[in-house]
């Protein structure tokens, strides 16, 4: 059922993740946007005495925040975590010929630490 393996390579290569800092900023962004729109909407709705206007403006804010934070835009990927470099050891294991079991190599690297 996993369709990901039928996708062509260039689609699979599109990054779909946010880094941790990006997730935090995305949450902050939509909160600010929705609160801002709700404040403006309530003021405008109070001025023209139409609660429906408030609701429309709030829904507009919802849409804007969806557009800004739902897709994993590249701006949420600017601070990738600096993982410890385990690449050299993995390459060592790979060169020794036991590439079939990556978990065991991970265990080995842990043991070596």
Partner 1 sequence: MNTFLSRLNTIFAFTLSVMAGLTFLCFLSTFFNDHKTLVSINTGKIIVKSVPDYSTSREKNDLGFVVFDVQSDILSSLIVPTTSLFLYLTAEYTTQNHKLNQIVMWDKIIKRGENAIIDYKSMNTKYYFWDYGNGLRGNRNVTMTLSWNVIPNAGTLPKVMGEGSHRFAFPDDYTYFDVNHLEFLTLNSFPDHHDLIQNGDRNVNSHCLRKVHLTTKMSPNCYRCLLSSDLQAYRYNSMRGWGGPETQEPTPPSTPHNLSTPHPNLTLGV
Nearer to partner 1, 35 or 102 (CB): 35
CB of 14 to partner 1, least distance (A): 13
Interface region with partner 1, contact rule CB under 8 A, candidates 58-66, 82-90, 95-103, 104-112: 58-66
Q: Which two tokens stand for residue 110?
A: 């842990």
Cα–chain center distance at 14: 13
CA distances from 96 to 28, 69, 90, 111, 112 (A): 47, 45, 10, 17, 16
Q: Which residues contact 30 (CB under 8 A, 6 or more apart)?
A: 65, 66, 68, 69
Residue 65, interface with partner 1 (CB under 8 A)?
yes
Find the binder of partner 1 among 32, 71, 91, 92 (CB under 8 A): 71
Which one-letter DSSP state was computed for residue 78?
A: S
Which residues would be at the binding site for partner 1 (CB under 8 A)? 17-18, 23-24, 26-27, 30-31, 34-35, 38, 41-42, 45-46, 49, 51, 54-55, 58, 61-62, 65-66, 69-72
């Amino acid at each position: 059922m996993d369709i990901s393996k039928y996708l062509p390579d260039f689609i699979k290569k599109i990054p779909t993740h946010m880094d941790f800092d990006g997730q935090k900023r995305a949450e902050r962004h939509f909160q600010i946007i929705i609160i801002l729109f709700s404040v403006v909407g309530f003021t405008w709705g109070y001025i023209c005495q139409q609660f429906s206007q408030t609701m429309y403006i709030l829904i507009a804010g919802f849409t804007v925040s969806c557009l800004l934070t739902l897709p994993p835009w590249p701006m949420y990927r600017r601070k990738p975590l600096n993982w410890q470099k385990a690449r050299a050891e993995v390459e060592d294991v790979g060169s020794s010929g036991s590439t079939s079991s990556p978990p065991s190599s991970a265990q080995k690297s842990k043991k070596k630490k």
